[in-house]
């Protein structure tokens, strides 16, 4: 039987009891004869607690030391999971990112995987052991411990599935799969049985927390069968499978999915910048990239540019925009922390010219003001006040997904 890579996130291994439950689930799959590689995140809030400790000893913790610190988190969860498996007589071996041969570049805190050696994984699999691998971490060519940044453990799992030629990669999380909206906001949200990679990337980029876009893109690129399952639901048939689009001769041969989701991302904020002249836009782009600040769904109009970015990058943006003002690139700027992006994701959705109009019409009827809007090939994104955004999601979901 083919190799399966499973990944369990921080909530799934958040307590000793949950670790024992995960061990039982692994044991069942192991008994079916599948070779298994299991990627784990740090337990629950361990990473946040370690970051808080770092902030208490240093105002500017060195990134190299931060990676050393944070990598302790998965070391704890993987050793505990391996012990729990041992306790129910499943032979298991835990391996760090370094021991697994997950070789990355040298960018601490946001390393990219270059290649995976995997020798120790392969020899443990040959001995019929379940191999537990620390997610989120690797080692550089200069033997420094690195971490992969946001979505790191999902990325570790897909990269391992690729390197080891796995039959599929299963991401276990605390929801049943990919929904058309956050079920906590929209109780009638639809659970998708299958969804194509490109729409999943859009959903993930625009606030659906279930998968990180980086891991979806990697799965698409290497044609890894990726699925999302609920750790707490033992029914293996529940979940979402990511599918490859049919790439026929003509675009008509492609399956169309219509609208697949309405997302809101409260972890983002809105930024408006008035440039001194339109020719400096490239400089602003370069400088934000140097500062590792993201620009999401940007809209330009003459000397003005607006976009979303990570809420936790607010102070870095303030500093950068202040510097750019001093240097004469920026005339004025506004960081609008009250406005968050709401997105409607669908299949070639924006090619319909009426889409943006219809969406704004629905929100207008619900008396929800829209700050700004933009559209790309597979999504329309609107700026909505954080106070109204849940109502806006419900209104749009009712109109486009429930009718």
Residues that bind a second copy (CB under 8 A): 16-17, 19-20, 23, 50, 53-54, 56-62, 64-66, 68-69, 71-73, 75-76, 78-84, 86-87, 93-94, 96, 99, 120, 143
For the bound state, the minimum distance from the C-beta of residue 237 to a second copy, rounded and expressed in Å, comes to 28
Identity of the residue, 137 or 288, whose beta carbon is nearer to a second copy in the bound complex: 137
For the bound state, the minimum distance from the C-beta of residue 155 to a second copy, rounded and expressed in Å, comes to 22
Gyration radius from the chain CA atoms: 22
For the bound state, the minimum distance from the C-beta of residue 100 to a second copy, rounded and expressed in Å, comes to 12
For the bound state, the minimum distance from the C-beta of residue 23 to a second copy, rounded and expressed in Å, comes to 8
Distance, in Å, from the CA atom of 156 to the CA atom of 218, rounded to the nearest integer, reads: 10
**With left for phi above 0 and alpha for psi between -120 and 50, is residue 292 left, alpha or beta?**
left
Distance, in Å, from the CA atom of 203 to the CA atom of 209, rounded to the nearest integer, reads: 8
Identity of the residue, 62 or 377, whose beta carbon is nearer to a second copy in the bound complex: 62
Identity of the residue, 55 or 223, whose beta carbon is nearer to a second copy in the bound complex: 55
Identity of the residue, 137 or 176, whose beta carbon is nearer to a second copy in the bound complex: 137
Identity of the residue, 69 or 345, whose beta carbon is nearer to a second copy in the bound complex: 69
Place of tokens 């337990």: 43
Which run of H or of E encompasses 330? strand 330-336
Residue partners of 403: CB distance under 8 A and separation at least 6: none
Identity of the residue, 78 or 171, whose beta carbon is nearer to a second copy in the bound complex: 78
**The two three-digit tokens of residue 223, written as one number:** 């044609």
Distance, in Å, from the CA atom of 84 to the CA atom of 168, rounded to the nearest integer, reads: 24
For the bound state, the minimum distance from the C-beta of residue 353 to a second copy, rounded and expressed in Å, comes to 54
Distance, in Å, from the CA atom of 344 to the CA atom of 206, rounded to the nearest integer, reads: 9
For the bound state, the minimum distance from the C-beta of residue 94 to a second copy, rounded and expressed in Å, comes to 5
Burial class (CB in 10 A: 0-12, 13-18, 19+), 36: buried
CB neighbours (10 Å) of residue 318? Answer: 13
Enumerate the β-bridge partners of residue 346. Answer: 259
Identity of the residue, 12 or 288, whose beta carbon is nearer to a second copy in the bound complex: 12
Length reported for the chain? 403
Residue partners of 221: CB distance under 8 A and separation at least 6: none
For the bound state, the minimum distance from the C-beta of residue 132 to a second copy, rounded and expressed in Å, comes to 9
């Amino acid at each position: 039987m083919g190799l399966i890579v499973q990944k369990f996130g921080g909530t799934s291994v958040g307590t000793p009891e949950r670790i024992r439950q995960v061990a039982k689930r692994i044991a069942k799959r192991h008994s079916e004869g599948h070779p298994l590689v299991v990627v784990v995140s740090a337990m629950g809030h361990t990473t946040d607690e370690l970051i808080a400790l770092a902030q208490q000893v240093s105002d500017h913790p060195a990134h190299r030391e931060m990676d050393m610190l944070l990598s302790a988190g998965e070391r704890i969860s993987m050793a505990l999971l391996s012990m729990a498996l041992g306790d129910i007589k499943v032979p298991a071996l835990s391996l760090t990112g370094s021991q697994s041969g997950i070789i990355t570049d040298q960018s601490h805190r946001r390393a990219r995987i270059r290649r995976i050696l995997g020798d120790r994984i392969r020899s443990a699999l040959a001995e019929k052991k379940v191999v537990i691998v620390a997610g989120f971490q690797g080692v550089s060519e200069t033997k420094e411990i690195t971490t992969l940044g946001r979505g790191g453990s999902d990325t570790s799992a897909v990269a391992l599935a690729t390197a080891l030629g796995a039959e599929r990669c299963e991401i276990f999380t605390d929801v049943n799969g990919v929904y058309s909206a956050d079920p906590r906001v929209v109780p009638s949200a639809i659970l998708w049985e299958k969804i194509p990679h490109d729409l999943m990337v859009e959903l993930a980029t625009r606030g659906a927390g279930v998968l990180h876009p980086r891991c979806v893109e990697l799965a698409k690129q290497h044609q890894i069968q990726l699925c999302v399952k609920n750790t707490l639901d033992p029914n293996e048939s529940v979940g979402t499978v990511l599918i490859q689009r049919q790439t026929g001769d003509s675009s008509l041969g492609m399956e169309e999915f219509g609208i697949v989701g309405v997302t809101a991302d409260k972890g983002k904020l809105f930024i408006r910048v008035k440039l001194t002249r339109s020719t400096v836009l490239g400089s602003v782009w370069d400088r934000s990239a140097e500062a590792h600040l993201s620009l999401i769904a940007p809209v330009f109009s003459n000397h003005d540019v607006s976009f979303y970015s990570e809420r936790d990058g607010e102070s870095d943006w303030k500093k950068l925009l202040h510097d750019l003002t001093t240097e004469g690139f920026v005339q004025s700027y506004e960081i609008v922390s009250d406005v968050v992006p709401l997105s409607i994701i669908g299949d070639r959705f924006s090619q319909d010219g009426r889409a943006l109009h219809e969406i704004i019409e629905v929100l207008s009827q619900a008396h929800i003001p829209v700050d700004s809007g933009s559209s790309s090939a597979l999504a329309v994104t609107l700026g909505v006040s954080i106070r109204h955004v849940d109502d806006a999601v419900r209104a749009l979901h009712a109109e486009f997904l429930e009718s």
